[in-house]
A = this chain, B = another copy of it.
């Protein structure tokens, strides 16, 4: 339901582990950065603006398939795409690649909460994307 948003980033030293590759817990952070850029491009404003209105987007499901490692100082590309949109949830798919070679694919489901952490409907500005 939307074009992928592209974000290039450089793998940090701190993100790499004693095996010399990016630790698997670094990837969800990169996908969140992908969502931040997706939000800026497609959802009518920044995620920070949503949050300042008391709206939070919480990850309720995360699935990552790690195929090839990323290494320190690699420039990797995160492609973020909205794959499903309901009144309550946003589903995104991600492809992480380096020089056109796919390293990792992932998906998340995000739900909308109010300032007290209670479920609420997705804002209209985002629903309009569907």
Task: Tell me the A residues contacting B by CB distance below 8 Å.
Answer: 10, 12-14, 16-21, 23-26, 28-29, 32-33, 36, 46-48, 51, 56, 58-67, 69, 71-73, 113, 117
A48 with B73: CB separation less than 8 A: yes
B14 with A51: CB separation less than 8 A: no
B19 with A32: CB separation less than 8 A: no
Interfacial chain B residues near A60, Cβ < 8 Å? 65-67
A21 with B117: CB separation less than 8 A: yes
**Chain B residue, CB-CB nearest to A62:** B64
Contact partner of A23 (CB less than 8 A), chosen from B10, B14, B73, is: B14
Interfacial chain B residues near A62, Cβ < 8 Å? 24, 62-64, 66
A19–B117 alpha-carbon span in the complex (Å): 8
Chain copies in complex: 4
Contact partner of A29 (CB less than 8 A), chosen from B25, B36, B48, is: B25
B72 with A18: CB separation less than 8 A: yes
A124, chain B: closest CB distance, angstroms: 21
Contact partner of A36 (CB less than 8 A), chosen from B48, B56, B69, B73, is: B73
**Chain B residue, CB-CB nearest to A108:** B24
